[in-house]
Amino acid sequence: MFKTLTRLAFILIASLLLLLVTGLLLLQTSVANVLVENRLRAWVHPALQVNGEIQFAVLPRFGIDLRDVTIPSQTGSHPALSIGQLRFEVSIAALFKRELILESLYGDGLEVFKSGQSWGSFVDDVWLASALNRDNLLRDWGTTDSNAASRWRLLVKQALFENIAAYATDARERDTPLGTLRQLELKADVHWPRVAGTQASLGFRQLFVNDVEAFGHTPALLEQLGLVSQGAWDVMSMDSNWEFAQAKTDRNPDQVLLLRSLAANGAWGELTAASGSVNLGTGEIAIPMQVLLTNTPKFKSRALEITVRQSRMQFQLTGTISDPGVQWLTRPGANR
């Protein structure tokens, strides 16, 4: 009898809460829109703007659909970043277990604008300007310390972004396409604030870079590997799996991103990797790779150029994230 009454009371309370939430969303849409936009500004970026509609869903999951979201640029009339649509759905029940489960995350029409000769303005507009917001997000979600009671789990079941493009804007506000990406896919199981054990899979489809020179140090590295053709680079598909770990030595407490697998292909051939690491504290890279180059690849250096019909090679990505390099494990052009 007691269990039955308890169950009925729970159902009644849940129904009332559902009706209350539904009423707020339907009757006070403008108020809800303001609340959502203010929260996004507090958590993501202080100048974020939602220029289009904001739609809500309650059943079967709580979801928000945003249209025409922009982050303005401090220089020029173009935004630093804009996205045509951003939609996500979360599990409400999981929040009571300190779990944020993203059932789905979808974005369409993401555009990034680079002003001037470097990406410095974009970094200033988007990343550095949102540093305080990231602190607010961590504080609001109770993740500013490593106590067990404050730990959260973020489970991204499916994240898909489509139609991504990057542009360079000159002093006359003229846009030059730098590259496009058809699809970006992500799945992740994140533990916070201690991220050791976090796993993620990342993949993309149809990456076309029109001007590799616009990406700083990257052109020399790609050219050295024989992946660039007349200043352009394409990747038809890439899939990878990663895991976060703690550095093993006491002298090096930094977080380490471990590569578990990677496979990519394009008109230039195929590239694979079965292991590797990126130190997130120092930026050091150590990723051994194998590549099968086709389509008469060329290997260039300051004093030598080798043209081959097909070649299998092994090399290791070295250096740092900001200044990567290559250590050859087999001699370029050995298999002609």
**Res. 1: pLDDT tops 50:** no
- Tokens standing for residue 158: 């499916």
Q: Give the integer Cα–Cα distance in Å for 259 and 82.
A: 30
Specify the range with the lowest mean pLDDT, choosing from 93-102, 147-156, 231-240.
Answer: 147-156
List the one residue out of 299, 298, 293, 296 whose CA is nearest residue 309: 296
Domains in the chain: boundaries: 1-184, 195-336
* Chain position carrying tokens 């200044």: 323
- Three-class SS of 38-68: HHHHHHCCCCCEECCCEEEECCCCEEEEEEE
- Tokens standing for residue 16: 């009332």
Note the pLDDT of residue 27. 45
Q: Give the integer Cα–Cα distance in Å for 37 and 112.
A: 21
Specify the range with the lowest mean pLDDT, choosing from 103-117, 260-274, 309-323.
Answer: 309-323
pLDDT class of 9 with cuts at 50, 70, 90: very low
pLDDT > 70: what percent of the chain?
65
Note the pLDDT of residue 3. 43
Please provide residue 122's backbone torsions phi and psi, each rounded to the nearest 5 degrees.
Answer: -65, -45
Q: Give the integer Cα–Cα distance in Å for 77 and 32.
A: 29
pLDDT class of 183 with cuts at 50, 70, 90: very high
List the one residue out of 30, 26, 29 whose CA is nearest residue 18: 26
| pTM for the model | 0.77
DSSP state of 247: -
Q: Is 330 helix (H, G, I), strand (E, B) or coil?
A: coil
List the one residue out of 305, 254, 304, 259 whose CA is nearest residue 282: 254
In what helix (H) or strand (E) does residue 223 lie, and over which residues does it extend?
helix 218-225
What integer is the mean pLDDT of 280-304? Answer: 73
Name 91's Cβ contacts closer than 8 Å, sequence gap at least 6: 61, 62, 99, 101, 103
**Tens digits of residue pLDDT in 220-270:** 667 667 677 677 788 999 999 999 987 665 555 568 999 999 999 988 889
Q: Give the integer Cα–Cα distance in Å for 233 and 292.
A: 16
**Res. 5: pLDDT tops 50:** no
Q: Give the integer Cα–Cα distance in Å for 324 and 160.
A: 28
Q: Give the integer Cα–Cα distance in Å for 165 and 177.
A: 8
